[in-house]
Amino acid sequence: MNKSQSRRMWVIIMGLLLGVFLILLRLITFQIVKGPEWAARSRDESIVIAQPARGTIYDRNGAMLAANSSDYQISVSPNMVIDATGLSLELMPILQKPQSEIMAALLSDRPHEVVAGRVSADIADLVRDLQKEYSGLQIDPLARRFYPQRDLLCHTLGYVDFAGNGGAGLEGYYQEELAGEAASATFFLSPLREQPSIAAREGDDLVLTVDRSVQQMVENELTAALLEHRAESGTIIVMDPRTGAILAMASAPCYDPNEFYDADESLLLNPAVSSQFEPGSVMKLITMASALDSGTVTPDSTYYDAGVLEVGGHRTVNWDRSAPGTTDMTTLLARSLNVGAATLSTSMGAERFNDYFRQFGFGSPTGIDLMSEAAGAMPLPGDESWTESLLAAYSYGQAIATTPLQMITALSALANEGEIMQPYLVQEIHSENGDFAHTPIVMSKPISAEAARDTTNMAVTAVAREVSQAQIQGYTIAGKTGTAQISENGVYLENDVIATFAGWLPADAPEVIIYVKLDRPQINPWGSLTAAPTFAHLAEELVVLLDIPPDNIRLRADILAAREN
């Protein structure tokens, strides 16, 4: 071995010894010098949370009504910003903020500053373009609820706040199901331990009973009616009386749930289930059905109408101040005689009459799957606010508070052989644990099928005789108008009324019941001239959309089917 080779060998040996020394030094430092610190860190815990996606809401045909989207938060790390002036000038027109406010964030001493708390995807894209030229910008997604149909079905869907909580309607009622369940796990900050894998329970999807096309048509009709009759507000509900399924539920004025934060608070509640009012003469159908079922009268009974009846110190008079004398039951409904209705209720007596009204659901919520349903108000004998005069007033729909949903639900008994089905909006729930379909529920059977049919037949005659505006060609309509004065501070306002019409068809085999309510119409106060024609316009379109054949075709098909059997 020559001198040169010997020198290279010693260099290699010295290098290897130095490497071993450095490794030993790192091991001593890791295990002895910093051993306690690393031992403590290996016991450090961290919690990981997996957030679920909120469930989607669909109409009965699969059209998306509520889904998930994102806004974006724009923030900055000031210590990474090189050209604060240039960046602030670029951000000014995009974020619509003064340069001084942006500069304050860019020059902050803190490690992180939020420049814009919540912006749209379009704005985020513009800021993302600036990231190519300027350092320090950060764009983070923020979950938000998205309603692709905008204000369609607004009160029924409700809204979701920025914390992910449903604030009204279906979003509020089904908050737990829609929100899903976050998953969390604790793990140790150690490369020697296996890290957990976690998954949240995703939110359930809802499929509604509502058809988007039917809902749009109903909302259009309601808007047209408010304009035509210069009404302040209104509600229309369409229900299948055989199941309780809500086919459409519309109230106006409405709001865009995408921008719930800009809406007047009074618009966020659903008037169809949350607003109580005195329903007026539509209630005479319930009074008549109760009197028939109790045996107090028959369809052929008569009474003497003197035009005034005093009950508990209160004088009941007919709306037209008439005194028709001897009157039959059908005429009572057709002419909407207050004295006749009060005669029926007083003949039944307070206990029996009020018991029937309770069985029809007045004074209690229906239990529909919507947030903030009101119960209505119906003082009973023994209550502090009860007076004998209420026995007469209830019979024609005054002094009793209901909601539009309560009213249509009660009337649905007349269209469904005496049975009241619980109203509902969600037909199916799709979850990770399986799919669940709603089964129609019988809430009560306040009257017999015979009493329901008799009342329906009388309501058909009443419409044919007195409410031509509610009729549509080819279909037999059963229904009743209502025109109720509005009470404020215990005083009925002279010129402010609520106009209503309730009707169901085909009258002999009802497939749909419709309730129309117009608040404070200015052109004409009468339900027969406002709510009734609104019903007719809507029904003409509904029978097409819902494929309900005219009476002659349907009855001919029934005859042919009977012959074949």
With beta carbons less than 8 A apart as the criterion, state whether 303 and 340 touch. Answer: yes
Percent of the chain with pLDDT over 90: 61
CATH superfamily of this structure's domain 222-262+271-560: DD-peptidase/beta-lactamase superfamily (3.40.710.10)
For residue 51, pLDDT over 80 is answered with: no
If 0-12 CB within 10 Å is exposed, 13-18 middle and 19+ buried, where does residue 378 land? buried
Respond yes or no on whether the N-terminal peptide bond of residue 253 is cis (omega within 30° of 0).
yes
pLDDT of 125 reads 87
The residue with tokens 């350092």 is 135
Residue 482, amino acid: G
Highest mean pLDDT out of 120-129, 276-285, 484-493, 547-556: 276-285
Say which residues have a Cβ less than 8 Å from residue 4's Cβ, sequence separation at least 6.
Answer: none
Domain boundaries, the chain: 69-146, 222-262+271-560
Give CA–CA dist 225/250, Å, rounded: 13
* CATH architecture, domain 69-146: 2-Layer Sandwich (3.30)
If 0-12 CB within 10 Å is exposed, 13-18 middle and 19+ buried, where does residue 194 land? exposed
Give CA–CA dist 485/491, Å, rounded: 10
Per-residue CA distances from 239 to 132, 223, 348, 415, 492 (Å)? 56, 19, 30, 11, 31
Distance of CA 329 to the CA centre of its chain: 38
State the CB neighbour count (10 A cutoff) for residue 332: 28
State the CB neighbour count (10 A cutoff) for residue 79: 11
pLDDT of 180 reads 81
Helix, strand, or coil (residue 310): strand
pLDDT of 81 reads 82
**Quick one: tokens of 445?**
């059977």
State the CB neighbour count (10 A cutoff) for residue 456: 22
If 0-12 CB within 10 Å is exposed, 13-18 middle and 19+ buried, where does residue 186 land? exposed
pLDDT of 197 reads 62
State the CB neighbour count (10 A cutoff) for residue 123: 18
Q: Work out whether the CA dihedral 406, 279, 516, 453 comes out positive or negative.
A: positive
With beta carbons less than 8 A apart as the criterion, state whether 329 and 288 touch. Answer: yes
pLDDT one-digit tens code per residue, 231-271: 999 999 999 999 999 999 999 999 999 999 889 988 999 99
DSSP 10-32: HHHHHHHHHHHHHHHHHHHIIII
Distance of CA 524 to the CA centre of its chain: 30
For residue 365, pLDDT over 80 is answered with: yes
